[in-house]
Amino acid sequence: MSDKPYVIDQMISAKSIAARIEELVVEIETDFAKTDKLVVVGLLRGSFVFIADLVRELSLPIEVDFLEVSSYGDSMESSREVRILKDLRGTIEDRDVLIVEDIVDTGHTMLNVTKHLMRRQPRKLRSIALLDKPSRREVDFQADYLGFEIPDEFVVGYGIDYAQRNRNLPFIGKVRFT
């Protein structure tokens, strides 16, 4: 982590995030209305706050599982090498699956995770991202459901960190070095 001092400017309020999640839940419940059980797969660590708020709003029968993936380490830049550090505990074969991600940046993580999970033959596989930086995209990936599109800024809060700090902020903030 950089020793340079920084400040965090609020970009998206907690209230705006909560309102958007309510809207996204309507879309998800419509798309998965006929499912017998939706497997909601959170990508650790950044999505843990988002997935908690999302699943509390869903009225569908759900199961929650997690994948831990890494492409950043403690850096502000993606290494583009996606490593699966913790795999799913359960099976997703012939089941409906929703991947929950905090932020889609280059797209490498979500593209690799999608391919990884498709090999397990789910019946339906969709993805949701709280944040999207389309200006940074390096591969062809677009989440099926999207919270907010943001500019190319380094952000923290609501589960998203900078070198394991600032995950606990209730809002999304832009890191600005002073």
Q: What is the pLDDT of residues 49-87, one digit of tens each?
A: 999 999 999 999 999 999 998 875 554 555 567 888 999
Q: Which CATH class is domain 6-177?
A: alpha beta
**Pick the catalytic residue: 105, 140, 152, 161?**
105
Give the tens place of pLDDT for each residue, 93-149.
999 999 999 999 999 999 999 999 999 999 999 999 999 999 999 999 999 999 999
pTM of the model: 0.92
Buried b (16+ CB within 10 A) or exposed e, 65-103: ebbebbbbeeeeebeeebeeeeebeeebeebbbbbbbbb
DSSP state of 43: E
Q: Is 102 a catalytic residue?
A: no
Distance (Å, whole) CA 148 – CA 132 = 6
Backbone angles phi, psi at 78, to 5 degrees: -65, 140
Strands 62-70, 38-44: pairing kind: parallel
pLDDT at 4: 81
Higher-confidence position of 163 and 169? 169
Do 154 and 160 form a contact (C-beta atoms < 8 A)? no
Two tokens, residue 72: 């950043």
